[in-house]
Amino acid sequence: MKIAKVYWTGIFLLLLAGNQSLHSQTELKFNAASALLLIPNVGIEVPISERFSFQMDLSGSFWDSFDGKPLQFTQAFGEVRYYGKNDTSGFFFGANVGFGMFNLTKYGYDEDVYQSGRNYYIGASVGYKKRLSDRWALELFLGGGTSQATYRAYSQETRMRIDIPLDEDRNFNKSGEWIPYRGGLMLVYAL
């Protein structure tokens, strides 16, 4: 089983590397909009055909929010994009999946309560990439979809769990929402 995973991963990387030489360059990205909120978001986009690309991006907040409530999270997304132009610029649509971990106070909860858990995302995004030169571009995008979370609630003061479910077989609370969960203005540099 492990050999098969290594084999197929190697085949995928070879196809990706071979395809890379035929099309435009790999791009590194930095989200200027989220940086203003002190939430770094970086990504890499690799063309997989004339109009399709694959993007992987990471974001995270490692401190409390401006009002002192917990706001620590990390997120990782993979996204396949379709561009209207052959050079991966202009309008695009994408389908994405992501995974995240968090310690934060959900909206509407007491200030003394925070939630700690994991979540996954499945959704879509839309955006526009404007080339400024051969190497530089700006990309405006917004994405959203379903976010499904499993978490536990804790007291900020005692760090003790406060949401022990009545059902002893259920270790976590669960929630799911349809929300916008990605967006910003990416500064793009082609390698």
Sorted by sequence, the CB contacts under 8 Å of residue 151 that are 6+ apart come out as 102, 115, 116, 117, 118, 119, 172, 173, 174, 175
Q: Is residue 28 pLDDT above 90, yes or no?
A: yes
Residue 50 lies inside a defined structural domain of this protein: yes
> pLDDT band at residue 22, thresholds of 50, 70 and 90?
very low
Residue 66 lies inside a defined structural domain of this protein: yes
> pLDDT band at residue 172, thresholds of 50, 70 and 90?
confident
130/159 Cα distance (integer angstroms)? 47
- Averaged over 152-159, what is the pLDDT? 88
Give percent of the chain above pLDDT 70: 85
Residue 15 lies inside a defined structural domain of this protein: no
Tell me what pLDDT residue 52 has: 95
pLDDT tens-place string over residues 61-120: 988 877 778 889 999 999 999 999 988 899 999 999 999 999 998 877 777 889 999 999
Domain boundaries, position 78: 25-190
Residue 156 lies inside a defined structural domain of this protein: yes
pTM (predicted TM-score):
0.80
Tell me what pLDDT residue 24 has: 59
Residue 184 lies inside a defined structural domain of this protein: yes
**Number of domains observed in the structure of the chain:** 1
34/52 Cα distance (integer angstroms)? 25
Residue 116 lies inside a defined structural domain of this protein: yes
Tell me what pLDDT residue 11 has: 56
CATH of the domain at 147: 2.40.160
Residue 12 lies inside a defined structural domain of this protein: no
Residue 11 lies inside a defined structural domain of this protein: no
Among the listed ranges 13-17, 111-115, 130-134, 174-178, which one has the minimum average pLDDT value? 13-17
